[in-house]
Amino acid sequence: MTVTIGRRELLIALGGAAVAWPLAARAQQPGKLPTIGFLSGASALTESQWAATFVRRLHELGWTEGRTVAIEYRWAEGRNEPAEIVAELVRLKVDIVVTYGTPSILAAKQATSTIPIVFAAAGDPVRTGIVASLAWPGGNASGLSLQKVDLADKRLELLREVVPGFRRLAIMANIEPHARRQGSC
């Protein structure tokens, strides 16, 4: 015996399932919201704008802090070794760690091999041991690589092609915050 379902019946069944599935999924979820561990190497005062941008973008993607997602903020306050802060996030059983800066990323990687770590910026994640390679990061860490140093030669080469008569170049940089974070100040 074969049962034939018409196109209309199939669309009604799929439409009903599409409406019922999210409701059933919500009914089965435990009371704990998905939790993001937000780790910054600086202070809440200096990084409030970055944190606000992060929360705003989450909201644009449909995540509302306190309703659909919880965020555990931790601030290293400039300490080079944020290991105990990351250990606290691991004890809290956050679902993901969001961070930036080599010391914070390495501390998170050392603290857990199971919780996903997403980093906003890392100078050279391969050389520092954050990831195995850019093509195949492996492990539980992934994010944005700045690669400023590796691309400097190419950028100068491109500048020389675009502006053939250029003879001098001045570079201004504020290395103090970076040096302080690395412990050399």
Query: What pTM, to 2 d.p., does this model score?
Result: 0.65
Structure tokens at 106: 């390495």
Q: Where along the chain do its domains lie? A: 15-147, 150-182
CATH number of 15-147: 3.40.50.2300
DSSP string over 85-96 = HHHHHHHTT-SE
Angle between helix 102-111 and 83-91 (nearest 10): 40
The CA-based angle 98-52-142, given to 5 degrees, is 20
Separation CA 106–CA 75 (nearest Å): 15
The rounded mean pLDDT for the chain is: 78
| Per-residue pLDDT tens over the stretch 31-67 | 789 999 999 888 888 888 889 999 999 999 999 999 9
Q: Of 12-26, 50-64, 155-169, which gets the smallest average pLDDT?
A: 12-26
